[in-house]
Structures are given as C-alpha cells and as structure tokens.
Structure 1
C-alpha cells in the first residue's frame, strides 16, 4: 500500500497533479490523500479574517473536495485506488508536514504553473514554499496541463561531490520500479578531472544501482547549467528529472541562474525533488 499526498487548490495545476498521480500509480495499490488548506485562501483574499469567514471557507472547501473525490472515482474506476480528504486551516507547508506524519506519506505530488517546475521557483509560489520547508518527504512537481508519459527515462544530474544516502537513492529506485525505467546519470564537466572523492561516490552509485538500468553521461560545461540540462533532456528524451535538494547541489546551481527565467523546457517534464 502506497500513501500519496496531493495538495489541492482546485486549479488546473492541481488537476494535472491528480491525473498524473492516478496514471503513474495505475498498477499499484494506493491511498491518495487530497489535502486542501483554507489558510491559503484566507491569507490572500482578505486582510481581516472573521470566524464566520473561516467557517464558510471550510464548508466551501469541504464541498469541493467531496465533489472532486466523486469525480475522480467516476473517471478513475480503479479498484486498487482509495481516496481520503484532508481539510486544514494551517499554512500549506504545515498542513503537509502534519499529513505526512499522520498518514505515513511516501510521496507528495504537486502541480505548478509555467513551462517547467524550475521557472516557478522564482515566483514565490506555494510549490516553492513546500519544497523549501518540507524536508521529510520527496515531492514530484507536475507542469501545468502535462499529459502523462510513462517515465521510462529518468535524468539524474549530479556533481558527484556528495555521498548520497541509501534513503535518497531509495526514492529514485522506487520510481524506476514502476515502469522499469532507465536512470541517466548526468555530470557537467566543470572540472578538468574528477577527484578521488568524486570517483568514490561514482563507485557507490554503481554499487547501489547494480540491479537497475543506468548509464553515465558527461557534458562539457558552457557556464550555463540550465542550458546543459535542457539539451540533455532533449537529446535523451528524458521523461522525468530527479534531483536531491541539498545546499549548493544541482537544483540550487541551476535555479540561481537568471537565464532560466527566459527559457522553456521542451518537452515539459515532471521534477522529482528528493530531500537530503
């Protein structure tokens, strides 16, 4: 039994996340937890919140959640899937953190607006806040209106400077088992030669992924890592990008480049953010 959490704000973004989740786990026994935070509505719609407004927001949210559950069951007649609704007045990241602990959640699936999840990191969105503050569960970010494609090819950018833990690699491994995916490990050559520590970390990756399909790729550095990754996605038809979110890691290095604001990923693909 897998427990999957999907934050819901009734937008096209969250609808995309729901549809992707149902397809991704169509062959798995799952409980999908739909989480709606009324705190998001309250904090952005009014400067002064009355108890009556809070109560009305809760009632409206509950009604919409029940409608979503019925619609999902009607359109996804999968006997392996079960659904549960959670409504909270906590801030979204707090509500998510509580849901993870109370329901043994193993993955969060969120929608985001824009051509790629990376662009949204600059916009101060809910997705950004969740990634920055929720550190105890992987997050799969789905681009808006993304049509499901089985993640047969999963890209994994790394600088080899970090010794990945078993827990971090297990998240990647679990994703590959769903569709017998191939992991394409990509390194951007910013150095002339690898250090002993980097070589040791490569050996560890090889050992841990021994029973998986994987390949190592090396790309010459052109100073703009975002462009390198975009070309890698195109060249190898990557269906999902996976990154470990640690300080000075690939996510931070790519997203701090102003150029990424102007770029669009083609194809648009989901981003699996693995917490350290």
Structure 2
C-alpha cells in the first residue's frame, strides 16, 4: 500500500523538522509526500486594492521556496520509495488542508509546532491548535520544535474506557506496525473499580490488539490528568503520545485549559491526534 502524507509548511526550521520525522517514520514504506503551503492576505479586504501584477511575484517566490523544500526532501530520501509533490493554495491553512486531504486521499497530516517559550512552556501555534481540533478527515501528527527523530518503539494511548472503539483504532495499529511498537494503554483511576461498560471496552481492546505488544497501566489519580500522563511518558521513555479526538473530547478540554502545552514541554514527543470515526 502506498501512503499519501501531507506536510504543511511555512518554510521554518520547525516545518522541516516535522518533514524529516515523516520521512524517517515511513523510511521503509512506499509514500507520496505532499508539501503544501497556504497563502492569504493578512487583511482579507486588501486583496481588492492590490493588482495581480503585484501579487504574482510574491506567490512565485513562495512557490520557489516550496520547490526548494521538495528538492531538499528528495535528497534526504534518495534510496527510498518516496515521491514528492507540491501544493500551493490560497486560503486559510485548515481550508486548504481539507481540500488537499480529500483530493489526494491523504492518510496522515504531519506538521510542526511552535517552539518553547520561557523555561516551562511549550506553545502550539494557533494554526496547529485549529487543525488538531477541527481536522476530521484524517489523523494529525504534531512534531515538537527541533525534535530529533528516534524510532517510535513505545506508544502511549490514554483512555477512559468509556466509549466503544471503532475504525480509529486501525491507525494505532498502522503506526505500531511500522516499527513493531509497544502500545502502552493508560487509564487514570477515578474510582476503585471499573463499570460494566468500561470492562467491556477493556475486553474489546484486548481482543483487537491480541497480536500486538500491549500493556495496560492503571494510574492512581493523585494529580491532574496531564501531569499523570506526563510523568508516565517520562518514566517509560515513551516516544509517541496518541489520543482519539471525540467531539467535545479530552483533547478539546486540554486545548481550552490549556494543558497540552504542559504535556508537550515535559515529554517533548510527537503527539498523534486521531479523529473519531462515526
């Protein structure tokens, strides 16, 4: 199977780090990577007052940068079954990405985050937060700033066991298959025992992942969830955090609180957000 992967870029070092991660993650897989750039006026009302003759040089310069990113990636993937395309679009980042995902049958979006601010925080850019929370067509893999690739042999999957799992679990399998990753399923205890529905979902996970290296972890709720997950990531040398993004989900609450930045700073690992498949 050939993988189709979208790599949005603003031509920053962060964007290149994310691209490198994607190339290495799928080093042994046949892939087509799409470098995309969404361009728009900062002031949407200004477009009517600027002639096309002034716009074209700006757009052509950005297209040259996009081509240079593509050339650089081709050099990195010389001996791999990787091909590269470029997509230059006009509009918002999310709108342009959704069009590309649908048109090119994209299976995964890989994008960089903003860098650390101060000594204690890791901030996702506004575009990243928007894409993470609103992209419903495919998973999004967020790569921390200047992250150096390491084989993702230990995945962390926090879950409450409250919902029936559907097709979204397939992507956890796909990532695990790439490098034989262990899957650490993490549950933070609120009560002394699970309810019947939760127990049924635990059994479902055991059955679904029966051919995989999985481990169930029961964490006592002695602190906030994000702190418990961060501690688990650090203690177990985990290298990918994955969550399912339900409507009004834990992910959405993390963005609002905002605790994703705390987890991102302390763990410094890629974060895979999988949209709920209804």
State whether TM-score is above 0.5: yes
Q: From the superposition, tell whether residues 221 and 248 of structure 1 become closer, same or farther in structure 2 (CA, over 3 Å).
A: farther
Q: Map 1:1-276; keep pairs closer than 5 Å.
A: 1-39=2-40, 42-43=41-42, 48-49=46-47, 50=50, 51-115=52-116, 119-120=122-123, 125-165=126-166, 167-258=167-258, 265-276=265-276
Q: From the superposition, tell whether residues 26 and 243 of structure 1 become closer, same or farther in structure 2 (CA, over 3 Å).
A: same
Deviations 1:30-89 (A, max 9, x none): 0000011112xx227x86232344323321111111111112222331331100000000
Unaligned 5+ residue runs, structure 2? none
Equivalent position SS for 2:46: coil
| 1:88–1:95 CA contact under 8 A, matched in 2 | yes
1:19 is displaced (CA, Å) by 0.6
Q: From the superposition, tell whether residues 66 and 250 of structure 1 become closer, same or farther in structure 2 (CA, over 3 Å).
A: same
Please say which of residues 147-156 and 266-275 is displaced more in the overlay: 266-275
CA distance in 1, matches of 2:35, 2:235: 36
Equivalent position SS for 2:36: strand
CA distance in 2, matches of 1:251, 1:168: 15
RMSD (Å) for aligned C-alpha atoms:
2.1
| 1:186–1:217 CA contact under 8 A, matched in 2 | yes
1:183 is displaced (CA, Å) by 0.3
Q: From the superposition, tell whether residues 114 and 221 of structure 1 become closer, same or farther in structure 2 (CA, over 3 Å).
A: farther
In the superposition, the TM-score normalised over structure 1's length comes to 0.91
- Matched length: 269
1:162 is displaced (CA, Å) by 0.9
| 2:230–2:263 CA contact under 8 A, matched in 1 | no
Q: From the superposition, tell whether residues 245 and 262 of structure 1 become closer, same or farther in structure 2 (CA, over 3 Å).
A: closer
Please say which of residues 72-81 and 172-181 is displaced more in the overlay: 72-81
1:264 is displaced (CA, Å) by 6.0
In the superposition, the TM-score normalised over structure 2's length comes to 0.90
1:164 is displaced (CA, Å) by 1.2
1:222 is displaced (CA, Å) by 2.2
